[in-house]
Amino acid sequence: MRPRPAPRWSPLCLLLALGAACAPDPVAPSAPALSRAAPTRAVAPLAVPQAGVAAPGEVPTVRPHIAVSGDQGLCAVRPDGVLACWPGGQWMQPPRHEQAAVRGRFVQVAEAYSRTCALRDDGLLECFGSERFWPDLPLGQVGPRVGRFVQVAGGNRAICALRDDGIVECWGGAYLTEEPFPRVRAPLTGRFTKVSVGTDFACGVRDDGALECWGDRNGWTSGGTPVPELIQPAPGGEFDDVRVGDLYLYAHGRDGQWMVMSCCEGTPALSPFGQPGQFVDLDAPGVYVNERIARIPSARTTVEAGGRGGGNIWPLATTGGLFVQVTTGTAGYCVLRDDGFVQCRKNSPNTINDEWHPPLLDARAPQTITVASTFTGPLPYGTETPLPATTRSGLPVEVTSLTPTTCTIGGTKDVPTVVGAMATGTCRLTLAHPGNARWQPAPALALDLPLTRGTATILRGGEGQVHDGTAKRPTLATQPAGLPVQLAFLGRTEPPSAPGSYFYLARVETPLWTGAASGLLTIEMARIDVQPARISLATSPTVTVYVHGSAIVDAARIDPATVRLRVDGGTGPGAAVALRNGAPMSTLADVDRDGRTDRMLVFRTADLVAAGLTTARPALVLEDRAGALRLLATDPSPPQIVP
């Protein structure tokens, strides 16, 4: 057997839902008997679990996970899809290295000796690290032969990726030598739902629930101690997950139990950690090292860690959230919590690299607050102004007024608004977000906005009125209500009363409010109805005029003694109302039966002819310039005048 090189840290990294257990719901424990025999049933259709890889057109959700790198550092895929790494012995906040995907986002990362491959949400790999030792795995983008990758795993000197059709592709590298290690052999048959890479061999969970392993104890080629190629569980006890370490593999059954199996004949028992049990997660370093494992019990508040010949000798208790994932290496292990922080501990004070003692690490994604560049003020008094601020995480901004006497916060949590409480001075705001299990707190942002008077709205109405001899004004109201309005007509000092159209300007000017509006006031003549519709200058003795009462014209106030009916374009003041027995011929009645009083007036045709009525001048205007009701009215449909 060849000598082992010096130990190093390069574990399998897993993708786990933050705050969710990676094992199935526990059921009654049972210890399945193992057999090593070829499967007999046909391969079933696959439903490969994808590690955050999106289907075409789908927007994926990045779920944080962590992995320990070969230089005893830590890498984490953050919720924003960026890979953050803390080099070994250089623990600091923030991470020293951050790498974004060339396209899309990272969803999983695998570490091997001098090479890192991260899985993108579009199913491609991006590999980076040293250019040495990996002749068949290039740096940069790596795609599958067909389909898309859905999982990536790394070990001592191999990286394997699982495709969406269940086929595994593997690449091999060199280890502490310039000579490349022979190409890793991927499994020749079978389709898989999970894959794990250890020191010298790899295992995968087949779609029929069996484990298939390939490689050997002393290298991935012939000449070493071969690993069993197939491990069949007892009926009903199919496997659904696997971890591969140095000398052992750890299989998870659908009964909720993790069990340990040695890779090869003659491997010492792993006691007492070799007993089956139910755990949230479990991991072992896939490097040359005396076998160690770390596991998270179902309470998720502690980690049990030990190895061959010893019990729980490197425990860890949470200082905050619940544990959800553990990753191991030669020097120790790290655990991801459901609040986005990572706790780590070294195996013992006497282990290699005594300086490896990382603090609590923040694997959450950073976020910032952005305010629209156009939002500079001034802030109007008494008006709810939406605050155009967003966070990188998409979480709502929390707004606080530092000057509540000049401005207050309104709106909702998702859409905050700012309300000016004064018309002068400055509104001072603080924008922040405390963060959550996926996102770090956003740095507070100070915002100063000048204050100004509020903008009042002037509501216009009553711009079409009927002449009745009185001065006319439009109907104006304000929002907020009750503000004084200044009204001015173009070219006039007083409101108009004569028929016509008049441009006006309305303004609000108070210490707190300002506003303006303009409009056009139109005064029309009142409506009369002239009968008969066909007037003969020779044979029609009289003409009857009906003035219909309305909300504007009170026909009862018309004085028959002062009213005149003149010819539009004619001469003189017009004809007076005809007299009978010395009294004007006029009556009051509801002629059109609309509930209002109408006025009937009778004029002599001869008087109208004297005032200029001809076949060419048929329009008649009823006018009263001296009576109680100032009246100017016409018939919109003039009668026909015949000789």
Quick one: average pLDDT of 620-629? 80
Q: Report pLDDT for 60.
A: 45
In which residue ranges of the chain is CATH 2.130.10.30 found?
Answer: 65-362
Q: What is the CATH number of domain 526-642?
A: 2.60.40
**pLDDT 10s digits, 486-512:** 999 999 989 998 889 999 999 999 999
Residue 547 has which token pair?
Answer: 């003035």
User: For strand 513-524 and strand 500-509, is the pairing parallel, antiparallel, or unpaired?
Assistant: antiparallel
Which amino acid is it at 505? L
pTM > 0.75: yes or no? no
Mean per-residue pLDDT over the chain, rounded = 79
pLDDT reading at 301 higher than 90: yes
Q: What is the CATH number of domain 65-362?
A: 2.130.10.30
Lowest mean pLDDT, pick from 53-67, 402-416, 461-475, 624-638: 53-67
CATH class of domain segment(s) 369-454? mainly beta
Q: Report pLDDT for 587.
A: 94
**pLDDT 10s digits, 505-554:** 999 999 999 999 999 999 988 888 999 999 999 899 999 999 988 877 88
pLDDT-derived band at 27, boundaries 50, 70, 90: very low
pLDDT-derived band at 161, boundaries 50, 70, 90: very high
**pLDDT 10s digits, 209-233:** 888 887 765 544 444 455 656 677 6
> Which residue from 509, 456, 465 is spatially nearest to 487, judged by alpha carbons?
509
Task: Work out the angle at residue 469's Cα, subtended by the Cα atoms of residues 464 and 474, and round it to the nearest 5 degrees.
Answer: 30
340 Rama class: left (phi>0) / alpha (psi -120 to 50) / beta: left
Lowest mean pLDDT, pick from 180-184, 193-197, 466-470: 180-184
Q: Report pLDDT for 472.
A: 93
Q: Report pLDDT for 113.
A: 75
pLDDT-derived band at 288, boundaries 50, 70, 90: low
Quick one: average pLDDT of 195-219? 79
**pLDDT 10s digits, 323-343:** 999 988 767 788 999 999 998
pLDDT winner (highest mean) among 117-126, 169-178, 187-196: 117-126
Ordered alpha helix ranges (H), 8-151: none
Percent of the chain with pLDDT over 70: 76
Between residues 252 and 261, which one has the greater pLDDT?
252
> Which residue from 432, 427, 414 is spatially nearest to 383, judged by alpha carbons?
427
Q: Report pLDDT for 328.
A: 81
In which residue ranges of the chain is CATH 2.60.40 found?
Answer: 369-454, 456-524, 526-642
**pLDDT 10s digits, 345-391:** 876 654 444 445 566 888 899 999 999 998 988 999 998 999 999 99
- Calpha distance 398→253 (Å, rounded): 46
Q: Report pLDDT for 57.
A: 43
Quick one: average pLDDT of 315-323? 91
Q: Report pLDDT for 260.
A: 81
Q: Report pLDDT for 44.
A: 35
Quick one: average pLDDT of 81-107? 76
The values of phi and psi at residue 606, to 5°, are -60, -40
pLDDT reading at 635 higher than 80: yes
Place of tokens 């003692």: 357
Q: How many CB atoms lie within 10 A of CB 394?
A: 8
Quick one: average pLDDT of 27-37? 32
Residue 195 has which token pair?
Answer: 């894959």
> Which residue from 443, 391, 389, 435 is spatially nearest to 411, judged by alpha carbons?
389
Between residues 187 and 414, which one has the greater pLDDT?
414
Residue 521 has which token pair?
Answer: 């006031």
pLDDT reading at 445 higher than 90: yes
- Calpha distance 359→344 (Å, rounded): 7
Q: Report pLDDT for 259.
A: 82
Q: Report pLDDT for 224.
A: 46
Q: Report pLDDT for 12.
A: 25
Between residues 273 and 437, which one has the greater pLDDT?
437
Between residues 638 and 29, which one has the greater pLDDT?
638
Between residues 24 and 435, which one has the greater pLDDT?
435
Quick one: average pLDDT of 299-322? 83
**CB distance 564 to 576 below 8 Å:** yes
Q: Report pLDDT for 71.
A: 54
pLDDT winner (highest mean) among 133-137, 176-180, 292-296, 405-409: 405-409
pLDDT winner (highest mean) among 76-80, 256-260, 603-607: 603-607
Domain range 456-524, CATH architecture:
Sandwich (2.60)
Q: Report pLDDT for 70.
A: 52
Which own/partner contact pairs does 86-94 have at CB distance under 8 Å and 24+ positions apart?
86/358, 86/361, 88/9, 88/331, 88/353, 88/356, 89/353, 89/355, 89/356, 91/357, 91/358, 91/359, 91/361, 93/359, 93/361, 93/362, 94/362, 94/366
Percent of the chain with pLDDT over 90: 40
pLDDT winner (highest mean) among 47-56, 218-227, 455-464: 455-464
Between residues 103 and 380, which one has the greater pLDDT?
380
**CB distance 221 to 206 below 8 Å:** no
- Calpha distance 615→607 (Å, rounded): 15
Quick one: average pLDDT of 567-582? 90
Place of tokens 């195996």: 347
Task: Work out the angle at residue 474's Cα, subtended by the Cα atoms of residues 468 and 476, and round it to the nearest 5 degrees.
Answer: 145
Quick one: average pLDDT of 617-631? 82
Q: Report pLDDT for 580.
A: 92
- Calpha distance 508→382 (Å, rounded): 15
> Which residue from 314, 250, 240 is spatially nearest to 286, judged by alpha carbons?
250
Strand order in the sheet with 168-172: 149-154, 158-163, 168-172
